[in-house]
Structure formats: C-alpha cells, structure tokens
Amino acid sequence: MDRSEQRNRYYNELAGSSLHRLAAISDGIFAVSMTLLVLGLAVPTASEVRTGMEGDLARLLRDLLPATVTYVMSFLTLGIFWVGQQTQLSQVERANRNYTWIHLGFLLSVTLVPFSTQLLARFHWSRIALIVYWLNILVMGTALLLGSEYASRARLFPKEQGRMIIQLVRRRVLGAQLLYLVAMLLCIFDTHWSIALIVAIQLNFALAPPIPLLRRL
C-alpha cells in the first residue's frame, strides 16, 4: 500500500483491530464480575447471634444457602462463558471494529451477572427473578454466537478451519441454550427445580464427563 492509500484509509478500518487488547479487557471484566459475586454472601453480624447460642449462627448460615448456591452457580456460569470467549478469540486470526464491538456487547451482559445473581439469591422463590437470570444467560450466549457468526462471514477464522469452527460453536451454544430454556421452563412448577438443573448443566460443561451424549454438547 503506497502513502496516498494509507492517508485515505478511514479511521474505522484501523479501530478495534487488536485481539490482545480485547482479550485483556475481557479478562479484567470477567475477573471483576466473578469477584463481585461473593459480595452476595453477607457474613452474619454479631448482633444477630446471642452469646453462646450456636443455634442462632447455624440458622443464619442455613439462611445463606440460597445465596451460596447461586454464587457457585454463577461462578460456574462466568467460568464457562470465559472459556467460550477465550476459545473463540484464540481461533480468530485478526479482529476489526465490528467484531470488537460485538464482544463489548457480550461483556456488557457479563457485567450484569452479579445483579441477576443477587436478585435470584434474594428472591429464589420468584419466577420473575429466575427468568431475569435466564435472560442474562440467553443474552450472553446470543452475543457470543453472534461474534462467531460475524467472524465466519468476515473470514476472521483461518480459511481451512472456518467451517469446522463455526459448526462447533453453533452446536455448543445452541445446545446449551436449549438446556437452559428447559431449566427455565421448570420454574412453572418450582423455581428450585430450575436452579438445580442449571447447576447440573454448569457442572456438565465445567467437568465435561466422558459420556458420549453430553460430550457432543
């Protein structure tokens, strides 16, 4: 490219082209969001426990069980989506402005996880709280898939492996979102069934057990 062509390039053709910077801000946002989750676990105050009454402390700790379950569930959720994003970023050969902004939209949904987690922890019996949490997962999955679809169309993946990569991403994201949808629908009967199934789904993706059907997801 000669100097005249370089001068005539638009700024948007240069913006957002660093994969390293995109990965860096992603790691930072995931780290902060995962740390904020623990703030939902409030340590009982001394005024709530009568002197020498172990039963009071045991009761207060038992009351923390919903918050503890949602904390672990959401930590796994963020861990799974972090792995999904870094897998995608490791496969693209380059980035551009549109691809970077798609991932910034994905990161926006990541920052909402502490809120949806605390909402569900405080109102674990509420269908509305459960649906808000599910919508948070749905938006994250949709944004991550959108990034892959754009990367495929813009030929950001290696030419020889692009078709295989996008097929794998589609199968993983769509399969996972179908499972999350089933889990959400269980709140028709009881939100605790939904939470239990989401935890099981997250454990499956985190542990990747050697079960043929599950390993294909």
- Per domain, the residue ranges of the chain are 18-215
For position 56, what pLDDT does the model report?
A: 73
Q: Residue 21 has which token pair?
A: 């910077």
For position 28, what pLDDT does the model report?
A: 96
Q: Residue 189 has which token pair?
A: 């009967």
For position 83, what pLDDT does the model report?
A: 95
Using 70 as the pLDDT threshold, list the residues of the chain that sit under it.
Answer: 1-9, 16, 46-53, 211-217
pTM attached to this predicted model:
0.88
160 alpha-carbon distance from chain centroid: 29
Identify the CA nearest to 162 among candidates 172, 173, 171, 151.
151
For position 40, what pLDDT does the model report?
A: 83
- Three-class HEC string of the chain: CCHHHHHCCCHHHCCCCCHHHHHHHHHHHHHHHHHHHHHHCCCCCHHHCCCCCHHHHHHHHHHCHHHHHHHHHHHHHHHHHHHHHHHHHHHCCCCCHHHHHHHHHHHHHHHCHHHHHHHHHHCCCCHHHHHHHHHHHHHHHHHHHHHHHHHHHCCCCCCCCHHHHHHHHHHHHHHHHHHHHHHHHHHHCCHHHHHHHHHHHHHHHHHCCCCHHHHCC
